[in-house]
Structure 1
Amino acid sequence: MSKSAWKRAGVALTALAVVTGVAGCQDGDAKAGGTKAGGTQAAPEAQTQTLGDATKAIQAAYRKTSAAKAAKVKMTMSMKGAGAESGTVEMTGIQGWAPASMDITMKGSMLSAGDPDAPEQMRMIMLDQVMYVDMGAKQAAEMDGKRWMKLDMKAAADASGKSAMQNPFTGGGLDNMNQDPAQQLALLLDSPDLKHIGAEKINGMETEHYKGTLTFEQMLKANESSKLLSKEEHDQLIANVKKTGLKGYDTELWVTEDGYPARMDIGMTMAEGTMNVRADYSDYGTEIAVQAPPAKDTVDLFEMLKGLGKA
């Protein structure tokens, strides 16, 4: 594959890590004014709920979201800084979490990877722990007409060890793939400073805005996948994260009157750069029928890498 194609594949993998692992956190730099791009001002403090009421509201949202199993999602991810590929990417489509699956279309400046001939958008499918990325017609011409890049994450993990596919942002493994909004609500309940900000209108819907802070250690402790790690692997993961300068996550979400998350914000500030993600959800419980592309149209990235290694 061409250099730009490899970079687009990297963007897709980064996007997958975000969608599957960290939906629901926000950058702690958005303190003053309580707003982010596209956000709204919080309601007066006098209208906020008590801690007990906020906890009950999020518990109820967790139960409803978990039962919904799927939703439509529009997610915008931006990265900047010396250690990150600066730019933005927007992902729109359907995400399922029981079972884990997705079919989304990506577009944005990060996708071009400096290639003027790069496609304006790229489709990404995940099904049965396998990701497929549509690399476009031009790339297909360089790969015997096969435009879909396949990454079997379970096969890659089996070949490299249980912790090989650890999500670099949350420490999650394969059993934590496609982390659903419900799990993020459960994590927010572990926040020591959970609070209700106030009523806000999001995407034309009346919502209640909540916020809480989680350290990386708290996220890892709540993650079932971390129990697969040996003490040495656990300590090494903590040490590696500390080197990045990541302190933790300020988590924000907006819950509709029907009890579903309308929006979740993600943000991480590290020594080398920042990542911000905004996810807007709708149509909970929507039917989702994800299909893998035909095998004749796919090229296996893992097999390709093994071949390059032998060469």
Structure 2
Amino acid sequence: MGRTSWKRAGVSLVAVAVVAGVAGCEGGGGGGGGKKAADAPAKPQLQTHAAVTEVIQAAYEKTSAAKSAKIKMTMTMPAGLEGGGTVEMTGVQGWDPAVMDITMKGSSFALADPEGPSEIRMIMLDGVMYMDGGAKAAAEMDGKRWMKLDFQAAAEMSGDKDLQKSMTGGLENMNQDPAKQIALMLDSPNLKHVGPEKVDGVEAQHYKGSLTLEQMVDTNDSLDVLSEQERRELVAAANKAGITGYDTELWVNGDGYPVKMDIGMKTPQGTVKIVGHYSDYGAKAAVQAPPAKDTVDLFEMLKGLGEGLGEDAGEGAGQA
């Protein structure tokens, strides 16, 4: 993966971050599936709205306190959207502090660079994202296989406050705190208990709710970086694109922890779906940055390329 390929991969990653940041969810097919009517058990006793609220609130508190978990997540984007395709993510995630060590693979990488790797390991630590480009990247980049994306440093260097908010907000969205996603459900006016289901071999209770676009924007903490004007513009742009609202589904195990969460959003091109499976809550998220000798800074590289192009242009003008 050469310089141009690295750039395309970096742009693809930022696009995934933006989608992840605004996604709510459509049901992704349920958790344990359904039986035929003839084999169906007696209709379960559904919980009252007050009881549901209590369960979701407790799940939020437990998840927030756990600070980390193992994850297996699938993001599916309609073909009509730029970067459409499926991305699978597996690994460990921490949200206090925000850290991540996951492997991403899927069809979206082929769109970013058909000759690139089929999967990419990503590490996030201390506000910096690292992407492993593999042996091919190392061969083309003087042995350096890791690409470093320090969004905040690049934004601060630019002196553009709007860019700073956009970049740091996008990085946070790449590491969505599941507790915050659960908290959004508490604002749903139609939050309800669906019934018991088995998820990943574990007995769980299934809950669902929905929010309008405006409610989601008002309650999503990751959008706090936006001004009131920017929020209005976001809502107007989303409405113009045909996005009207979000659904969320959650499966909570007997210990009160989420074992599955479906989030996404509906668009005229189709539904963006994110289905997440969680386990091993509270396990230490031991994440380490790759060695500096194996790392190339994307933004420094692009800056150097830009300066080189400027010098070449100057020389050409002088010769003319």
TM over 0.5: yes
- Does residue 277 in structure 1 map to residue 274 in structure 2? yes
Aligned to 2:123: 125
Per-residue CA deviation, residues 63-86 of structure 1 (Å, 9 max, x unaligned), is 111110000000111122222323
> In the TM superposition, what is the alpha-carbon distance from 1:233 to its structure 2 partner?
2.3
> In the TM superposition, what is the alpha-carbon distance from 1:222 to its structure 2 partner?
1.8
Question: Whole-Å Cα distance in 1 between the matches of residues 271 and 115 of structure 2?
Answer: 28
> In the TM superposition, what is the alpha-carbon distance from 1:238 to its structure 2 partner?
2.1
Aligned to 1:109: 107
Within the candidate set 164, 184, 187, 1:187 is matched to 184
* 3-state SS of 1:185 partner: helix
Question: Whole-Å Cα distance in 1 between the matches of residues 141 and 7 of structure 2?
Answer: 13
Unaligned runs of 5+ in 2: 36-40, 310-320
Within the candidate set 126, 132, 135, 1:134 is matched to 132
> In the TM superposition, what is the alpha-carbon distance from 1:290 to its structure 2 partner?
0.7
Question: Whole-Å Cα distance in 2 between the matches of residues 248 and 160 of structure 1?
Answer: 35
Aligned to 2:34: 41
Aligned to 1:257: 254
- Classify 1:121/1:83 alpha carbon distance in 2 versus 1 (closer, same or farther; 3 Å): closer
Normalised to the residue count of structure 1, the TM-score between the two structures is 0.85
> In the TM superposition, what is the alpha-carbon distance from 1:254 to its structure 2 partner?
0.4
% same residue: 56
Question: Whole-Å Cα distance in 1 between the matches of residues 306 and 54 of structure 2?
Answer: 53
- Does residue 73 in structure 1 map to residue 66 in structure 2? no
> In the TM superposition, what is the alpha-carbon distance from 1:121 to its structure 2 partner?
2.1
- Does residue 292 in structure 1 map to residue 293 in structure 2? no
> In the TM superposition, what is the alpha-carbon distance from 1:273 to its structure 2 partner?
4.2
Unaligned runs of 5+ in 1: none
Normalised to the residue count of structure 2, the TM-score between the two structures is 0.83
Letter in 2 for 1:164: L
Aligned to 1:196: 193
* 3-state SS of 1:81 partner: coil
Equivalent pair of 1:44/1:198 in contact (CA under 8 Å): no
Question: Whole-Å Cα distance in 2 between the matches of residues 180 and 26 of structure 1?
Answer: 15
- Classify 1:80/1:224 alpha carbon distance in 2 versus 1 (closer, same or farther; 3 Å): closer
* 3-state SS of 1:254 partner: strand
Letter in 1 for 2:69: A
Equivalent pair of 2:217/2:231 in contact (CA under 8 Å): no
Question: Whole-Å Cα distance in 2 between the matches of residues 108 and 131 of structure 1?
Answer: 19
* 3-state SS of 2:184 partner: helix
> In the TM superposition, what is the alpha-carbon distance from 1:134 to its structure 2 partner?
0.5
Superposition CA RMSD, Å: 2.8
Question: Whole-Å Cα distance in 2 between the matches of residues 2 and 293 of structure 1?
Answer: 19
Aligned residues: 301
